[in-house]
Structure 1
Amino acid sequence: MTALYLKFLITPTLMLAISLASKRWGTKIGGLLSGLPVTSALVMLFLSLEQGPGFALQAVPGALAGLAAVQATYLFYFLATRRVSAFPGCIAALLVYAASAALMSHLHAVALSVVVTLVMLSLIIVVTARQVVPANAKVVQLPRWVIPMRMLTATLLLLAITASAQWLGPVASGLLAPIPVIAWPLAVFAHVQGGHHELGAIVRGNAIGGVGVLGFYLAVNGLIVQWGTLASIAVAVVLAVVATFVLAKLLDRR
């Protein structure tokens, strides 16, 4: 019962903090923060606490496959919406996500998932490096319903995955963990309201954060059995945050 209370307390609080930061500092910071392993870390934490560290360890390959699929989807959406509008782009991107997630999960190869993720992240960073900001670009203002929606969807996703973990199994549970309940709505809304350059800022920030997410899963994979749940996830989160902001600083200097 304590774990249930923590899910209802921690998840919406973190979503609120990230959403307010995005609103305060803009889409670039919003994309960076939404790319951090917030939902992923919570899913892995509660899977480990409720099902055991061994279950969480078995979920890592699925999570890495899901991460590769998510980044492939972002890259596809960013490139496709140079020629098509947001709605058909979303439909096509969701199909790409389903196909990519199914394929990567079926292959069940950690090394391949890591390589594909790194390739996708690199491509996103390259294609968003030189974006032209229109002279009439407007500041995107989030509507009031966006923040409560993110808090609700993130909490429901966490509850759904952890409640059905035994039925889903570790691989499927891990595959669902990287679903971008924060970043995807933010990306589409920024695209519709602010244009393709705003989408690029979100996608680029999310890709930079994705490097940290990758480090998070690899750290969990290497540490959770030896160090236990809380210590390994805490170290993995710190690693993700440091990697994300160091990379962001390095790219800003270029």
Structure 2
Amino acid sequence: MLTLIKLGLAIGMVLGLAWVAQRFGAKIAGLLAGYPLGTAISLYFIGHEISPEFAAASALYTQAGFSCALALVSAHAGAIYFCRCRGYSGLQEVALAVLAGLSAYALTAWILQFLPPVLWATTGISLLCIGVCHYLMRTWPEAMAVGGRTTWVVIVLRGLAAAAMIIAITAAAHWLPASLAGLLAAFPVTLYPLLLIIHMSYGGAQTLTLIKHYPSGLGALLIYTLSLTYTYPHWGLVWGTFAGFVLATCYLWGWHRWRYQA
């Protein structure tokens, strides 16, 4: 039953983000990709299947794990620029970008597992990475929104992939220490399938637009996981999750209002 719930939630999130990308463009989709969707599901079920205290300890390292997610998308973007210089395109470009991104995530996660379990370290490293990525990506050109080229069959398949990743993460948490479980929970299970959908359907320009706005949305994930380190042990899973979503929503609303409507 839990597997079916994870499956349905993951597919629903990927479908929703894909619809946003087609309806409003990669800019807004990139911002919303930082909303605590896949991470929230992973940490909730880790808490449900193991304990709220273990999930709270994992959430501490999930904050550091967002640096891994930034390493993934940055390496993906770097591979796109590399392929442009070398004249690669199509599946060659996608394959190289996937290889570069996943390798960057794995390497960064291996390094960050040795961080001390304190907030200033786990939160600080991600805040630094968010700031650096936001600064370096600020001048990237914006691709115009395009629509109508991705079939819903493909999107559902990507949703199944996201569900498989969530199931794998929550299963692995039973055998891993809280540090590695938390770093795995930071994997962008909803963003990554969407990233591949856009890359294969629309090309590198739209993909880079999505990546450009991803660091801005990560603030919501940091706030969400930071709140869980306190609320899960004291308030329980349901109210802790609810409080985290309220705080994350307030952040995204405030950021969007300040950044795009100022």
The alignment's TM-score, normalised by the length of structure 2, stands at 0.84
Q: Is the 8 A contact 2:26 2:145 kept in 1?
A: no
Corresponding residue of 2:53? 54
Alignment partner of 1:117 is 2:126:
yes
Corresponding residue of 1:139? 146
Cα distance change, pair 195–133 in 1 and its aligned pair in 2 (3 A): farther
Corresponding residue of 2:219? 211
**Structure 2, unaligned stretches of length 5 or more?**
85-92
The one-letter amino acid paired with 1:172 is L
2-side partners of 1:125 and 1:244: how far apart? 16
Corresponding residue of 1:180? 188
The one-letter amino acid paired with 2:176 is L
Deviation at 1:214, TM superposition (A): 0.6
Corresponding residue of 1:74? 73
Bigger Cα displacement from structure 2, 99-108 vs 110-119? 110-119
Corresponding residue of 2:96? 88
Q: Is the 8 A contact 2:25 2:145 kept in 1?
A: no
Q: Is the 8 A contact 1:128 1:201 kept in 2?
A: no
Cα distance change, pair 126–142 in 1 and its aligned pair in 2 (3 A): farther
Cα distance change, pair 113–142 in 1 and its aligned pair in 2 (3 A): farther
1-side partners of 2:116 and 2:73: how far apart? 21
Q: Deviation digits for residues 119-144 of structure 1, max 9, x if unmatched?
A: 2222232233233357xx67253243
Q: Is the 8 A contact 2:7 2:163 kept in 1?
A: yes
2-side partners of 1:130 and 1:228: how far apart? 43
The one-letter amino acid paired with 1:161 is I
Cα distance change, pair 113–9 in 1 and its aligned pair in 2 (3 A): same
Alignment partner of 1:244 is 2:228:
no
1:227-242 alignment to 2 at 5 Å?
227-242=235-250
Cα distance change, pair 153–114 in 1 and its aligned pair in 2 (3 A): same
Deviation at 1:191, TM superposition (A): 4.2
Corresponding residue of 1:202? 210
The alignment's TM-score, normalised by the length of structure 1, stands at 0.86
1-side partners of 2:7 and 2:141: how far apart? 41
The one-letter amino acid paired with 1:35 is G
Bigger Cα displacement from structure 2, 170-179 vs 37-46? 170-179
Q: Is the 8 A contact 1:11 1:154 kept in 2?
A: yes
Tell me the secondary structure at the aligned position of residue 35 of structure 1: coil
1-side partners of 2:37 and 2:239: how far apart? 16
Q: Which of 170, 174, 181 matches 1:166?
A: 174
2-side partners of 1:11 and 1:93: how far apart? 21
Kindly report the root-mean-square deviation, in angstroms, between the aligned alpha carbons of the 2 structures. 2.5
1-side partners of 2:40 and 2:83: how far apart? 34
The one-letter amino acid paired with 2:139 is R
Q: Is the 8 A contact 2:18 2:194 kept in 1?
A: no
**Structure 1, unaligned stretches of length 5 or more?**
none
Tell me the secondary structure at the aligned position of residue 82 of structure 1: helix
Q: Is the 8 A contact 1:73 1:96 kept in 2?
A: yes
Q: Deviation digits for residues 150-199 of structure 1, max 9, x if unmatched?
A: 22122212222223432224322222112122222333443455454422
Deviation at 1:32, TM superposition (A): 1.9
